[in-house]
């Protein structure tokens, strides 16, 4: 009788484990995993599938924006950027993708999104904004470069003092010190 119970238990364990072995394996990878691997074609495929299933997911919308922006498809990218604004103008993902106006040399828009980010989060923030793929220093590099180009030197310097080891004795009115500030922006990790 005891052997029958053991055999029955073993059969049940085998039955349950075999069900999970033969069920189709779900793809747990999201588009950002492909972005991290620089496999943008598969990232776009995955984001498209996910967007079809979850059209209101800000993570997916921002992924669609990011990939289209990387491919230089600005019209499509802006469509998803506007969609992200509809969902949340103050979400970190939206603030990040909005900063990519820098690539279009729309520095006013870039500054707006970067300043919103800094105001909302303080410059020192979780090291990742969207996912482990996009580091915050990349975001700072974009934002601070835009602020520097529009001559917001004091703002740039204040943020750099928070996120780097830059000297706190520089004078933003001196050309030689502004060059040092610019060098610190360029040294930010991407």
Domains in the chain: ranges and CATH: 26-87 (1.25.40.10), 90-190 (no CATH)
* CB 137, CB 38: distance < 8 Å: no
- Between CA 124 and CA 120 the distance in angstroms is 11
- pLDDT at position 33: 83
| pTM value surpassing 0.75 | no
- pLDDT at position 182: 94
- Between CA 88 and CA 146 the distance in angstroms is 23
- pLDDT at position 128: 43
Per-residue pLDDT of the chain (190 residues; tens, 9 = 90+): 555 555 545 444 444 444 434 333 334 468 888 887 888 899 999 999 999 999 888 888 888 888 887 787 878 877 887 787 777 766 766 676 666 666 667 788 778 877 887 777 666 544 344 444 455 566 778 788 888 989 999 999 988 888 888 999 999 999 999 999 999 998 886 5
Contacts of 122 (CB under 8 A, 6+ apart): 162
- What are phi and psi for residue 30, nearest 5 degrees? -105, 175
* CB 188, CB 182: distance < 8 Å: no
- Between CA 128 and CA 151 the distance in angstroms is 27
- What are phi and psi for residue 122, nearest 5 degrees? 70, 150
- pLDDT at position 53: 92
């Amino acid at each position: 009788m005891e052997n029958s119970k053991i055999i029955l238990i073993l059969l049940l364990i085998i039955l349950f484990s075999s069900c999970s072995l033969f069920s189709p394996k779900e793809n747990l990878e999201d588009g950002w995993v492909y972005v991290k691997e620089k496999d943008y074609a598969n990232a776009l495929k995955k984001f498209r599938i996910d967007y079809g299933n979850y059209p209101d997911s800000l993570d997916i919308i921002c992924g669609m924006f990011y990939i289209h922006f990387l491919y230089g498809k600005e019209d499509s990218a802006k469509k998803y950027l506007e969609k992200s604004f509809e969902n949340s103008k103050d979400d970190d993902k939206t603030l990040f993708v909005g900063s990519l106006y820098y690539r279009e040399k729309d520095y006013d828009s870039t500054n707006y999104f970067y300043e919103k980010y800094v105001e909302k989060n303080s410059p020192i923030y979780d090291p990742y904004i969207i996912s482990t793929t996009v580091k915050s220093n990349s975001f700072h590099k974009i934002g601070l470069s835009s602020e520097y180009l529009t001559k917001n030197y004091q703002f740039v310097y204040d943020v750099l003092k928070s996120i780097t080891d830059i000297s706190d004795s520089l004078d933003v009115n001196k050309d030689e010190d502004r060059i040092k500030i610019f060098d610190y922006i360029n040294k930010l990790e991407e």
